[in-house]
């Protein structure tokens, strides 16, 4: 079914709570409807939106906002599908819809999830089913389709680590296509869908490769310590993947693997896994960490992490260390992560060091509990106030550390480039 709304208020469709509208809002609930939709007749430009959780509308959108509302998720019977090896398909236009498990290797399952499913609902379902992979990504706002565009990530895991195939509609050729993850150009918070393919594809569904065997990632962002505080006994204290990566070695003396984007790939924990450690336990722990640090978009408008963490040369990092120790004393340690022969420095640490935590500009504020987040503190912040605070942070970090911060949040409407139009 296709529904249309002219002069549509987008205030409740973006988690930042920007009071903006679009000329036409179109929601499609059945993928085959895309074959009959007259895209050429739609007001241009066309913008395909997920849950509206990682974007900032900078003004009223003059064209069409399209949303895939295919939210059909039926977890009942999935366990039987996996164990019996029977596929439970719902055909559409030569593709498959609905959430189901495709039998795979003995220790893995391929799970197809529609684009319109809330990503955290998928995480909750997987944890309940005892499937490993997305638990560290719990509570990230947004929908499944957007996760494949943004390559969302948290606590040592990125969407690309579990994506097998992206199922999409090609606006240029007007046909459904299946795109292997290896062809999607995944990198740190980016993909071909955000760059060279921008505006070409509408994502229908994503197939994730999940594990039946335990594959926890614990050594990032205090996850291990938080688990221990909950009474979960873990082996190999302090010697998880992050530690090995910092030392320049991995288990067995192997060198850190470097991904296609140049990033070090953190190895998952090996060896005996405590029987008390389950995807559900990790999910609950991640949720507790996030709720303590990050605002609830339902209560305080935000788009989550606003800036990407910069990856710099080791020489540049040493200059930052020197600056930090000059200001804070010789024992000051700058948090960082090894990424091949380069270093990732948390943007939140630099923003905090520059005194921005809690700073307000009109209705916009750097969130007091996590300076990587900019919030709509009053509920009435304007796009201009958000952008002004963003620019002040960028300018200050550049002046102090010689680093150009880049927003992770997509700005919609600032520049209506050609690649936002149908080609």
- CATH 3.30.465.10 range(s) for the chain read 78-211
Domain boundaries 78-211, corresponding CATH code? 3.30.465.10
- CATH 3.90.78.10 range(s) for the chain read 307-407
How far is residue 99's CA from residue 119's CA, in Å, rounded to a whole number? 13
Taking residue 116's Cβ as centre, other Cβ atoms within 10 Å add up to 23
Does residue 214 contact residue 120 with C-beta atoms inside 8 Å?
A: no
Instruction: Check residue 238 and give its pLDDT.
Output: 39
Instruction: Check residue 273 and give its pLDDT.
Output: 53
126-135 burial, b at 16+ Cβ within 10 Å, e below that, comes to bbebebbbbb
Q: List beta partners, residue 46.
A: 64
Q: Six-digit token pair at 362?
A: 């009109």
How far is residue 263's CA from residue 258's CA, in Å, rounded to a whole number? 5
pLDDT digit of tens for each residue in the chain (423 aa)? Answer: 999 999 999 999 999 999 999 999 999 999 999 999 999 999 999 999 999 999 999 999 999 999 998 865 543 323 323 333 323 333 333 334 445 555 554 688 999 999 999 999 999 999 999 999 999 999 999 999 999 999 999 999 999 999 999 999 999 999 999 999 999 999 999 999 999 999 999 999 999 999 999 999 998 878 999 999 988 877 544 334 333 232 222 223 233 333 333 333 333 444 445 557 999 999 999 999 999 999 998 899 999 999 999 999 999 999 999 999 999 999 999 999 899 999 999 999 999 999 999 999 999 999 999 999 999 999 999 999 999 999 999 999 999 999 999 999 999 986 544 444 433
pTM check: above 0.75: yes
CA 53 from centroid of its chain's CA atoms? 10
Secondary structure (3-state) at 192: coil
Assigned fold of 2-70: 3.30.43
Instruction: Check residue 72 and give its pLDDT.
Output: 57
How far is residue 267's CA from residue 233's CA, in Å, rounded to a whole number? 20
How far is residue 259's CA from residue 151's CA, in Å, rounded to a whole number? 14
Name the nearest CA neighbour of 111 among 147, 80, 139, 78: 78
Q: Which residues contact 378 (CB under 8 A, 6 or more apart)?
A: 362, 363
Instruction: Check residue 41 and give its pLDDT.
Output: 97
Q: Which residues contact 226 (CB under 8 A, 6 or more apart)?
A: 285, 288, 289
Q: What element of type H or E holds 143?
A: none
Instruction: Check residue 378 and give its pLDDT.
Output: 96
Does residue 115 contact residue 70 with C-beta atoms inside 8 Å?
A: yes
Assigned fold of 307-407: 3.90.78
Secondary structure (3-state) at 292: helix
How far is residue 13's CA from residue 412's CA, in Å, rounded to a whole number? 13
Maximum Cα interatomic distance, the chain, rounded to a whole number of Å: 66
How far is residue 337's CA from residue 346's CA, in Å, rounded to a whole number? 8
Instruction: Check residue 106 and give its pLDDT.
Output: 60
SS3 string, 253-267, reads HCCCEECCCCCEECC
Taking residue 79's Cβ as centre, other Cβ atoms within 10 Å add up to 13
Label residue 52 left, alpha or beta by phi (over 0 means left) and psi (-120 to 50 means alpha). left
Instruction: Check residue 230 and give its pLDDT.
Output: 87
Cα-based angle 120, 125, 127 (whole degrees, multiple of 5): 95
Instruction: Check residue 275 and give its pLDDT.
Output: 55
Residues involved in catalysis: 189, 305, 408
Secondary structure (3-state) at 191: coil
- CATH 3.30.43.10 range(s) for the chain read 2-70
């Amino acid at each position: 079914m296709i529904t249309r709304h002219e002069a549509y208020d987008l205030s409740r469709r973006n988690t930042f709570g920007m009071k903006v509208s679009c000329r036409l809002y179109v929601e499609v609930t059945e993928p085959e409807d895309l074959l009959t939709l007259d895209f050429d007749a739609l007001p241009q430009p066309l913008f395909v939106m997920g849950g509206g959780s990682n974007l900032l509308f900078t003004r009223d959108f003059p064209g069409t906002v399209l949303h895939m509302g295919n939210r059909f998720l039926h977890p009942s019977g999935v366990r039987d599908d996996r164990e019996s090896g029977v596929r439970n398909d719902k055909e559409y236009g030569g593709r498959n819809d609905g959430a189901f498990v495709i039998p795979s290797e003995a220790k893995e399952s391929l799970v197809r999830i529609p684009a319109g499913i809330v990503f955290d609902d998928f995480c909750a379902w997987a944890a309940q089913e005892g499937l490993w992979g997305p638990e560290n990504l719990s509570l990230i706002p947004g929908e499944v389709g957007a996760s494949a565009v943004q390559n969302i990530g948290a606590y040592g895991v990125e969407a690309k680590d579990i994506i097998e195939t992206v199922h999409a509609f090609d606006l240029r050729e007007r046909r459904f296509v299946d795109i292997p993850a290896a062809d999607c150009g995944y990198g740190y918070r980016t993909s071909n869908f955000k760059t060279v393919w921008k505006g070409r594809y509408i994502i229908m569904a994503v197939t994730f490769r999940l594990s039946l065997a335990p594959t926890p990632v614990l050594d990032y962002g205090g996850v291990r310590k938080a688990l221990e505080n909950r009474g979960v006994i873990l082996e190999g204290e302090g010697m998880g993947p992050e530690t090995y990566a910092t030392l320049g070695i991995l288990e067995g003396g192997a060198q850190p693997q470097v991904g296609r984007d140049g990033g070090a790939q953190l190895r998952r924990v090996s060896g005996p896994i405590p029987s008390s450690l389950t995807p559900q336990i990790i999910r609950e722990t991640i949720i507790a960490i996030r709720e303590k640090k990050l605002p609830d978009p339902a209560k305080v408008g935000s788009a989550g992490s606003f800036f990407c963490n910069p990856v710099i040369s080791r020489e540049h990092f040493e200059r930052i260390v020197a600056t930090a120790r000059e200001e804070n004393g010789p024992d000051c340690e700058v948090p960082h992560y090894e990424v091949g022969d380069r270093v990732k420095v948390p943007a939140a640490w630099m923003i905090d060091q520059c005194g921005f935590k809690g700073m307000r500009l009109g209705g916009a504020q750097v969130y007091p509990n996590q300076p990587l987040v900019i919030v709509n503190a009053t509920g009435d912040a304007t796009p201009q106030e958000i952008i002004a605070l963003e620019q002040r942070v960028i300018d200050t970090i550049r002046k102090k550390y010689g680093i150009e911060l880049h927003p992770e949040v997509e700005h919609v409407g600032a520049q209506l480039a050609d690649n936002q139009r149908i080609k």
